[in-house]
Amino acid sequence: MPRLADEGVYLASESTVYRVLKENDMQHHRGRSKKPNV
């Protein structure tokens, strides 16, 4: 998302992207790094 914004490509606000991911149950931790402590 930030990389696309740096290139001048605007898809949606960051909050909208995260809202859509959450609504579709696609907001999961990925990779080997530790999960955030929220």
Listed by start position, the domains of the chain span: 1-26
Q: What is the pLDDT of residue 29?
A: 66
Report the mean per-residue pLDDT for the chain: 78
Longest dimension (CA), the chain: 32
* Residue 17 in this model has a pLDDT that exceeds 80: yes
**For residue range 19-36, what is the model confidence (pLDDT) as tens digits?**
888 898 887 766 676 666
Taking the model in full, what pTM does it have?
0.47
* Residue 1 in this model has a pLDDT that exceeds 80: no
* Residue 11 in this model has a pLDDT that exceeds 70: yes
Helices (H), 1-38: 2-6, 14-23
d(CA 12, CA 19) in angstroms, rounded, equals 11
